[in-house]
Every structure is written in C-alpha cells, then in structure tokens.
Structure 1
Amino acid sequence: MNSLVTRGSLFDDFFKDIAPGFYVRPLHGDNLPSPSQIKVDVKETEGGYTVQAEVPGVAKEDIHVSLEGNVVSLRAEVRQHDEKREGEKVLRSERYFGAVARSFQLPADVDAAQAKAKYDNGVLTLNLPKKVNKAAQRLNIE
C-alpha cells in the first residue's frame, strides 16, 4: 500500500477548518519545494524564446542558469535566516534552506553566447535567441 498521508496535508486542513489559528505546526517541518514549484512561462518568437521563472526570496547571486543545446537548467539556493531576539518566541516558521532545480527542453538549440538573463522582483527573465543553423553547403565534385 503506497498511499500514506503525509504530515501537513489532511490533518492540517482538518485543524484549519475546525479551529483556525489554534493549530500551529512544528518549526522547520515543511519539505523543500519540488522542482515543479519553480514556475515557468515559456514563449517562442521567430528569433528565440523568452522564459520567465518565479524564484521569490532568492538573491540574484544564488540563482544559476546553464544552457546546453536546447536544455535550460535553473538552480536556486534558498537560505533561511533565523533571528531570535530576547523576549521573542517563534510559533511557526515556514522559511527553509536548500536548493531547488529544474531543467526543461526547448524545441530548438539556444545560442548561449547571445543569451541574456535579468532578475527583478522575484522573477527571472531569460532571453534565449535560437541558434542560427547555416544552410547546407554544396560541395563541388572533383
């Protein structure tokens, strides 16, 4: 039997409905986001692709993008900053640290030398021009 109820789903919903604000989950108990939680929008034009990826709360220096042929790989290092002040008691913390990554294929190869990336307000925007394939060259027969 493979259908186990994970902590944080059915029981949390039950307590949330019965007594909202009463049930407080343990500190640092949530799992890291799955790769699909880096949400992306991919748009194609004649000359290339535009990718917008949501990576909120991550410093620009902690985002890594790699391009290989038509494969785009995104990786983000998420860091938690715990601060405990005197006279303060933390009741719940949903912030975490770790890495999330996602890779996907585009229909055509990308010209990595001409690619550009911009990060603004939690959204990473990639402008990925298509690699120009030179037309077949005719060989002279001797």
Structure 2
Amino acid sequence: MAGLIPFNRRHGRLMNRGFEDFYNRVDDLLNEGFAYGENLIRGNFKMDIQKKDHEYLIEAELPGVKKEEVNLELEDGRLTISVKREENINEEGKNYIHKETRSSSMSRSVYLQDAQQEGVKAKLDNGILSITIPREEKPNCTKRIDIQ
C-alpha cells in the first residue's frame, strides 16, 4: 500500500509527490470558488463554430462574464474573442478586514477564410456568446492538375 500514488480525479492525472504536488493542491484550493477559474488558468474557453451556407455561427461559453468584459475583433478573417475580468472583494467585520483583488484575462482567435467585415452580429445571453458572421461568396479557384 505504501507504493500507491494518489490520483487527482478532477484533472485525470497521477499526482507527483513533492513541491509540484503541493503547488497543484494550493492552486486547486484557491480556484475552487471562482466561477470559471479552471478555464482562466488554462487561458481558454469552449468555442463551437458552425459553417452554414451564407454565414458562420460561433458560440463561446463565458459563464459569469458581463458583456462589458468582452472584446470582439474581426480583422482580415481572424476573429478574436478577449475577456478581461477584475474582481474586488472588500469586507469588514468586527475583528477582521478582508480585501481581495483578482484580475484575469483570456483570449481565443480563429481564422475564418471567407468572413465578411460588414453585418456581424453578437449577443451574450446566459453565459453563451453567439456571433453570426456573413460569408463572402468566392468563386472556386481549384484547378485539377493532370499527372503525366
């Protein structure tokens, strides 16, 4: 039994012994209550992209994020979704003062080859950011090459 290595069920990996394990446990403890802390640590969020006949539909999961904290940019077909969030807690009680500040940011970019700059629509509702981007109609430039 002494040779068993603890397994971190939440992260699906074997846990190291020593200081690295200690730091992982401290990180897990500190990020427990933060609404999307696990995703912010990794610097990502879930994003689904659908290519339809005349548009792209992008849905990003941003639970607990306000629209003022989101920045969207479309430049030369590259869509960038950025989130910057600051949280300040100031509590005073009978014998204590608790002050905490958290600042976090994350960003994802995706290249949409035939995206149009005009007519883009975005809506944030219940933690889901929905973006509709019209597609340009481009002629098929594929040429078949015969092999000799």
1:102 corresponds to 2:108: yes
The answer to whether the 8 A contact 1:47-1:129 is kept is yes
1:96 Cα offset (Å): 2.9
Gaps of 5+ in 1: 17-23, 137-142
> If each structure's strand is expressed as a fraction of its own residues, which one has the higher value?
2
Task: Tell me if structure 2 keeps the 8 A contact 1:76–1:101.
Answer: yes
Q: Deviations along 1:97-119, whole A, 9 cap, x unmatched?
A: 1221111122x221121110001
Between the aligned residues of both structures, percent identity stands at 22
TM-score, normalised relative to structure 1: 0.64
Q: Which runs of 4+ in 1 moved over 2 A?
A: 3-9, 30-35, 87-91, 132-136
Does 1:133 pair with 2:142? no
Deviates more, 1:77-86 or 1:59-68: 77-86
Query: Could you say which residue in structure 2 is the equivalent of 1:65?
Result: 72
Deviates more, 1:65-74 or 1:95-104: 95-104
3-state SS, counterpart of residue 91 of structure 2: coil
Alpha-carbon distance, 1:130 to partner: 0.6
RMSD: 3.6
* Structure 1 residue 76, shift from structure 2 partner: 0.7
Q: 1:79 to 1:42 in 2, by over 3 A?
A: same
Partner of 1:53: 60
The match for 1:20 is none
- Preserved CA contact (<8 Å) 2:77 2:116: no
Higher-RCO chain (CA-CA 8 Å, sequence separation at least 6): 1
Number of positions where the alignment pairs a residue of Structure 1 with one of Structure 2:
117
